[in-house]
Structure 1
Amino acid sequence: MLVHLQSVLVILLPLFVGFGFKLPQFMLKILDKLLMILVYVILCLIGMGFAKTPNLSNELSKVATYAIGLFICLAVCNCVVMIWFDRMFFRQHHPFEVNQIKRQKIGVADSVKQLMILFVGILLGRMLPEHHLSSEKLSFYALMLLIFVVGLQMRGYGIALRQVFLNRHGLWLSMWFMVSCAVAGLLFALVLPDVSWTKGLALSSGYGWYSLSGIVMTQAYGATWGSVALLNDLLREFAALVFIPILMRRYPSTAIGIGGAASLDFMLPLIQKSGGLLAVPVAISFGFIVNVVAPFLMVFFSAFSS
């Protein structure tokens, strides 16, 4: 158990170390570019690692089937629980200023680009000799650097821990979101006999942080399940880009929640445009909490499953 706790601390430590440094504003744009480069590097490394999987063509079909199944379980459970949350707490008034906006074509293009980088990694993995393929250590170090940069960004953009954890809307939303994800993970395990309940919970605890979930699940269960977690989180991103503006008018909490961990960064501009400035603190609080909890739960649950 002590070893598993150390693994959790190793993943969380860079986030809080980065949060301890306050950088000048001009460096935040550099960090934004560095973060995107790191995401592309990690996606490529995951693809290269997946390319080493025996019977790759069969595994690709398996990955797609499992990822879509996991995504459906998560989408249904998330929406049911969060729509209930909206109806219970916001019956009489809408908490945000709802705006009419156009669909974010640029965001969709970015998501497609990320998916293409993954396939480039698979192609490179198939083309390069075995000794040129990426190692697990390289992926792990890239992930640690990415989490550190995320911590720097949080502090740089003025996210205060007090603001996050005292935001009741964001706190309650994150709690119900995580409960719904856990139910989805158990449902996924129930449907598939070769998936244990702890494995289902681990897979459903990525919360849309694909660059993290892909590597953690790869280390825990192998490249196939790491790719399942990654593709599932990318599907969440696609769905969020389409449905955030639609849901914001009637179900504001659901609109924020479907973005998962990305509500803190990638989806935040879209949330602000569709929900107004009042939606931003809630999205930041929600996104920060699920970003902190995700690595802990993934490592914790994967430690108890085969």
Structure 2
Amino acid sequence: MFSGLLIVLLPLVLGYLVPVHNSRVMNAINRGVSLSIYAILMLMGLSLAGLPDLAAQLSRMGGQALTLFTVITLCNLLALGWLSHRLQLDLGRPQIVSNAPTSKIAALAGSLSLVGVVLAGIALGLVLKPFVGEALFGGAESLAEWVLYLLLGLIGCQLRNSGMPLKQILLNRHGLFIAVTLALSSLLGGLLAAPLLDLRWNEGLAMAAGFGWYSLSGILIGEHLGPVLGGVAFFNDLTRELMAFVLIPLVIQRMAPLAIGYGGATSMDFTLPVIQQHGGVACVPIAVVSGFLLSLLSPPLILFLLSL
């Protein structure tokens, strides 16, 4: 049961064991992660193009993603709203991060570009299908598996060299509380959504365990449950990030834990500039710790749940 889990976790663990002290090497690793994500999403699109009755499958995928997103979001908002009333965060005066992409349009562009890659993969698959046949889609799935192993190794290396020592994580109780609350409420949402999506309980939990890390959740879910559910996980977590860009400026001054936590794993990168701009510098370490913990938890948790 757990052999597949161990095989996939091995590159993540091996990558985490590698210390990197050279900035050029670290930059190359970061570029490798980005390229691997784009490659796998392109291959995901190719796999989707091989589905029979593609239009109906895409419609079903959209409906399932909307259902999953709605249930998880309701659970998140209730739990993080409760936490916001329990934690008293002293926010400093908002101060824009130097050289940060505070424009929401600029921040959204990176997210939406990934959707474009998936759509490009679908288009490419439809064009090549008459010439290559079904072998195209089998080859895409096999190649995606190997690129996934590479990606997990690089991600492990990124996490190890993120500059986030364990002591700093454990001492930041606000970030820890927010991460735990977001994780538990998301899993509850996935459990509640599972029967609505005709999924087993562990599959519903796995679908919810991306915590906003759409570029990874879609890949891992698609590898084990097929391209349709991989697409559902991808769009569920992508919608979380898009919603976070809207939600953060509206509530962060009154309910900072909700604003920080709702972004999930993206609180340490994509949504961080928006959090800092509207919440102040006091929010930055909290958001980074929360996002880091969720990023560290998500891959092994998804794989563990899928192995049950």
Equivalence for 1:104: 104
Aligned pair 1:126/2:126, yes or no?
yes
Distance, in Å, in 2 between the alignment partners of 1:108 and 1:85 is: 27
Structure 1 residues 18-167: aligned runs within 5 Å: 20-90=18-88, 94-99=89-94, 103-128=103-128, 129-130=132-133, 131-133=135-137, 134-167=139-172
* 1:76-117 CA distance string (max 9 Å, x none): 111110010010122xxx333252876511011222211111
Question: Taking structure 2 as the reference length, what is the TM-score of the superposition?
Answer: 0.88
| Structure 1 unaligned spans of 5+ | none
Distance, in Å, in 2 between the alignment partners of 1:151 and 1:285 is: 17
* 1:198-222 CA distance string (max 9 Å, x none): 2211111111112221122112211
Q: Letter of the aligned partner of 2:187 in structure 1?
A: A
| Structure 2 unaligned spans of 5+ | 97-101
Structure 1 residues 1-306: aligned runs within 5 Å: 1-7=1-7, 9-10=9-10, 12-17=12-17, 20-90=18-88, 94-99=89-94, 103-128=103-128, 129-130=132-133, 131-133=135-137, 134-192=139-197, 194-304=198-308
Quick check: 181-190 or 225-234, which moved more? 181-190
Instruction: Say if 1:230 and 1:76 are closer, same or farther in 2 by CA, change over 3 A.
Output: same
Quick check: 179-188 or 264-273, which moved more? 264-273
- How far residue 165 of structure 1 moved from its aligned partner, in angstroms, is 3.0
Distance, in Å, in 1 between the alignment partners of 2:274 and 2:37 is: 20
Q: Is the 8 A contact 2:220 2:303 kept in 1?
A: yes
- How far residue 23 of structure 1 moved from its aligned partner, in angstroms, is 3.0
- How far residue 150 of structure 1 moved from its aligned partner, in angstroms, is 3.2
Q: Is the 8 A contact 1:198 1:302 kept in 2?
A: yes
- Root mean square deviation, CA, Å: 2.2
Q: Is the 8 A contact 2:222 2:231 kept in 1?
A: yes
Distance, in Å, in 1 between the alignment partners of 2:54 and 2:61 is: 10
Distance, in Å, in 1 between the alignment partners of 2:275 and 2:238 is: 18
Aligned length: 298
* 1:4-26 CA distance string (max 9 Å, x none): 55146336325513xx3123335
Distance, in Å, in 1 between the alignment partners of 2:239 and 2:190 is: 16
Quick check: 136-145 or 160-169, which moved more? 136-145
